[in-house]
Amino acid sequence: MKYLQSHKAFTFILVIIAMICILILMQTSLKAFADGKQTNGSTIGGVSVSGLKEDEIKEILESAIVEWKSQPIIIKGGGAELSIDPQEIQFDIESSIANYQNLIVKPLFLFWTSDKVVHLPLYISDSEVIKNRLSNISIWDIEATYNQVIMRASYLKSHEVEATVIDTTLLENERIALSIEQIPTEARGVLALAESLNDYILKPNEPFSLLTYFESLNLTDEANLEGFNFFSSLIYNTVLQGEVDILERHSQKEIPTYLQPGMDVYVDAFSEKDLQFVNVSEHPYLLKSTVEDDQLKVALHSAVKDSTIHISVHQQSINPRIINRYSNDLPMGTTKLIQEGEQGLRVTVSRKISKNGDERIQEISRDYYPPKNRIVLISAKKPVFENSDVMEEQGNLSSFNFVENVDLNGDGLPDYDDRYEVENHNFEDRLPPGSYYDKGGNLVTP
């Protein structure tokens, strides 16, 4: 009887042990399935180390790290890209191996179980160098992006890392500037340009080229010259009100029908005339450009506004010249207005920047808009008298006065010093025999 009881007790213990083993195997299999990993061996940093001794593990890990460091780490996100030298990442191989050995040690009472399978990352020392590099891309969440870099490096994974981009709506907290202008009727393609640049982030210390940007999107044929000039002028007028340094800008040389003189921009890919600038503030700017009701709206936003900028435009008028030209085709004693004169301008643009209690004046540009000269056509025909010598002695001939403003070649300067203009068209004079005035007012004598 006692034998039967002992046999039953022993059988019961064996059943319990078998059930425990089954449960352990099931738990290990479920964990392996959940992790998506095979249970055929432990790894450190994705490198198989099962059954290896400590010195062997160290050697194989060092070799894998050297190979992984042969390629740069490329971080992308939000339109920005950064390359990190993998040599900046310091792996702690000793700590990684020590952690691995602690985890695979089996208690004595589980001597009969199989070796534990673990998948561990490599230990990496904290790197302020990498964090500082990441901080140059202001639209990235530094801590989250840094953790992504470390995670991929700790498992010796792909060298391409997706950066964590901050919420761009935070950049709309402060509106720095706003420009609104009616789109000129001759300007085409403004909508396509506006849509392409809307919600663009101007990162600190990163130069921006308008032509390069449009060329990268194959938009150089989407707008005509007037469209490019109009759009570029509003961009320039807007960013100038932020902490932005202008690297390249060209004037249209004609007083614009929009904005103030001195705020216009000429952009042309053929002649390599570009608009370039750089955000020199400590914060990113959000550039928004939209078209509403045939109006272009360009705004500059930032998370904070730590400076005040005032734009000043000083204008100096330039009077046009009066150019008299002569023609035999007009009736005697008559004149005809060929071109009305328009004033020109010399324009100086400057801005006052107030920040942290300090003020400084910065000259931005000096532009010259030439005047349009007034051109008058005068009849060159004169009456003929039988005794002109007597008439001249009696003072009946009209006097001839020196003219300094005749400009036949259009360069804005007198062409000849011996040009004469008739002061009184009711003259009584005749030309020398065979002489005549050409269409330019020149006296031709054989």
Question: Kind and range of the H or E element at 197?
Answer: helix 190-197
Domain range annotation of the chain: 31-162, 168-305
Q: Where are the beta strands (DSSP E) in 319-373?
A: 322-327, 335-339, 344-355, 358-369
Cβ atoms 201, 137 nearer than 8 A:
no
Q: Which of 372, 336, 123, 362 is nearest to 242 (CA)?
A: 362
pLDDT value at position 329? Answer: 87
Q: What are phi and psi of 283, to 5 degrees?
A: -130, 155
Both tokens assigned to 383: 């009456």
Q: What is the mean pLDDT of the chain?
A: 80
Residue 398's pLDDT band (boundaries 50, 70, 90)? Answer: very low
Provide CB contacts within 8 A for 112, sequence distance 6+: none
Q: Look at phi and psi of residue 34 and say left if phi exceeds 0, alpha if psi is from -120 to 50, else beta.
A: alpha
pLDDT tens by residue, 175-231: 999 999 999 999 999 999 999 999 888 988 889 999 999 998 888 888 999 999 999
In the chain, the amino acid numbered 314 is H
Q: Is the pTM higher than 0.85? A: no
Give the C-alpha separation, 51 to 92, whole Å: 21
pLDDT tens by residue, 288-319: 999 999 999 999 999 888 899 999 999 999 99
Q: Which of 185, 159, 2 is nearest to 83 (CA)?
A: 159
Residue 50's pLDDT band (boundaries 50, 70, 90)? Answer: confident
Both tokens assigned to 196: 């392409």
Cβ atoms 267, 304 nearer than 8 A:
no
Inform me whether the pLDDT recorded for 37 exceeds 60: no
Provide CB contacts within 8 A for 371, sequence distance 6+: 318, 319, 320, 321, 341, 342, 343, 344, 412
pLDDT value at position 330? Answer: 87
pLDDT value at position 296? Answer: 97
Average pLDDT (51-72) is: 91
CB-count exposure of residue 17 (10 Å: 0-12, 13-18, 19+): exposed
Give the C-alpha separation, 93 to 157, whole Å: 17
Residue 30's pLDDT band (boundaries 50, 70, 90)? Answer: very low
Q: How far is CA 316 from CA 88, 235, 262, 371, in A?
A: 58, 25, 12, 12
